[in-house]
Every structure is written in C-alpha cells, then in structure tokens.
C-alpha cells in the first residue's frame, strides 16, 4: 500500500475566507491536489453579504475537489482567547477551552447538531461533512459515537476512525499557538512523522500560519511528497 498523508486546513470560516482562499489555492498548486478543509460553520454575527460570499466560496472549493469537513460549531474558545497549545504539538498537553471538551452526552449531541444545522444552512442538507474534528481535538467520551452515528469520520489528536469503523494511527504536526521556541521542534517532529514509513501522518495548518510560516510549511509538504507519500482525503479512508 502506498504511503499516504493528510493535509488539513483548519478553521476556515465566514470571517477569514477572503484572506484564506488564495492560501488554499497556493497550497493546492504545491501539493498537486485539493485537500481537506475544516469548516467552522457558525455565521450568526456575520453580515449577509459575507455569508453569501462564504457560501459561494465553499461551493467553489467543493467543485474544485477540496473536501469539506465540519470543525465544531462556533469554535468558541478560539475566538475568545485563542488556541492554547503547549509543548510538542502532537503529544503535548493543551489547555485551550474547546467547545466539546468534557461535555455531557446531551450537551455534546446538542452542539454537534447545532454544527450540523449551521453546515446545512451553508451547503444544503444533501452535502454531508466528510469528517468531524472537534476544535483543538479536545473531546468528551460521547462525541466519537455521536459523530459515527451521523456517518462521519471522527478525528482526534492521535488517530482517525473512519465512518466505517476503521482506525488509523495518525500523528499530527500543527504549529498554531505554539510559543516561538517550540516552532522548530514542531517542524522537526513534522519531518519525522512524514519520513518514518508508518502511520497516516497529518499536517494541520491554520490561517495564522500564513504568511509567517509559509516557507516552513511549504518545505514540510515537499518533504512529504519527496518521501513518496501521497495526499489523501478523509473520504479515501
């Protein structure tokens, strides 16, 4: 089986889509293929023309072959206080307040369905998200089965479980919110997981990585491709 990897662009939303689309197109050119985009679907406080523009862009990206996944509902912790990653990304402790962290069964389900209906109002009921990724990967014990009940792939920090129940070990390299002195180790870690011939590594990118970390990100993608890994979409799993 050919070695694979996932490129996942997080936090695409109604507030950042205009700035972000050119970044996505550039990454697509480098990768040679469209990739996974994690959409924050809430548009509650956005002006109507922004919502319309966002919808249009989502359809266009989908048309181009990008895979759209659901990334929470409001990603609240993100907007209110930024993301809090500490230490080496894929193995670290984080203390962001994530939307789904530690919720009760009822609250988790309520929020998941709020996310799904916000999604449906953007993309229509017939376009289901390929995957669900809780913001900052913090979760609760009920969420994975709630996501699978909706026939979506579930992603956590260390693994992926396809809608069909297949589990993949999946280390992730991510750079947003990391203190400066840990950036180099994080990129080094990314190189390692892409070079060692095991698992299904992910590169998780965020709007804040651009343009500051563009060169390093591009180099990391070249490393993956140079090591014979092929980019895949969630729905390929």
What the block records as the tokens of 140 is 């609760």
CB of 83 to Zn ion, least distance (A): 7
Q: Of 11 and 42, which has the nearer Cβ to Zn ion?
A: 11
Give the separation between CA 143 and CA 131, rounded to whole angstroms: 13
CB of 176 to Zn ion, least distance (A): 8
Asked if the bond preceding 94 is cis, omega within 30° of 0, the reply is no
Q: Is 92 helix (H, G, I), strand (E, B) or coil?
A: coil
CB of 186 to Zn ion, least distance (A): 16
Give the DSSP H/E element, type plus range, for residue 30.
Answer: helix 17-31
Q: Of 11 and 155, which has the nearer Cβ to Zn ion?
A: 11
**DSSP 8-state assignment for residue 88:** S
CB of 19 to Zn ion, least distance (A): 16
Interface residues with Zn ion (CB under 5 A) are 10-11, 135
Residues 6+ apart with CB under 8 A from 150: 112, 116, 128, 132
CB of 78 to Zn ion, least distance (A): 6
Given a contact cutoff of 8 angstroms between Cβ atoms, the answer to whether 200 and 107 are in contact is: no
């Amino acid at each position: 089986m050919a070695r694979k990897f996932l490129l996942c662009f997080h936090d695409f939303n109604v507030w950042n889509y205009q700035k972000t689309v050119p970044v996505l197109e550039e990454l697509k050119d480098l990768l040679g293929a469209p990739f996974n985009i994690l959409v924050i679907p809430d548009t509650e406080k956005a002006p109507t023309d922004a919502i319309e523009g966002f919808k249009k862009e989502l359809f266009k990206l989908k048309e181009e072959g990008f895979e759209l996944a659901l990334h929470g509902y409001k990603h609240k912790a993100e907007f209110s206080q930024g993301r809090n990653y500490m230490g080496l990304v894929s193995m670290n402790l984080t203390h962001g307040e994530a939307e789904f962290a530690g919720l009760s069964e009822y609250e988790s389900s309520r929020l998941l369905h709020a996310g799904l209906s916000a999604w449906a109002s953007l993309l229509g009921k017939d376009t289901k998200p390929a995957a669900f990724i809780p913001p900052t990967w913090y979760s609760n014990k009920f969420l994975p089965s709630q996501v699978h009940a909706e026939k979506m792939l579930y992603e956590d920090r260390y693994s992926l479980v396809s809608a069909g129940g297949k589990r993949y070990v999946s280390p992730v390299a991510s750079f947003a919110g990391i203190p400066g002195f840990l950036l180099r180790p994080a990129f080094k870690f990314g190189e390692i997981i892409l070079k060692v011939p095991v698992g299904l590594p992910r590169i998780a990118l965020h709007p804040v990585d651009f343009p500051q970390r563009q060169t390093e990100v591009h180099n990391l993608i070249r490393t993956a491709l140079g090591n014979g890994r092929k980019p895949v979409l969630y729905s390929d799993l």
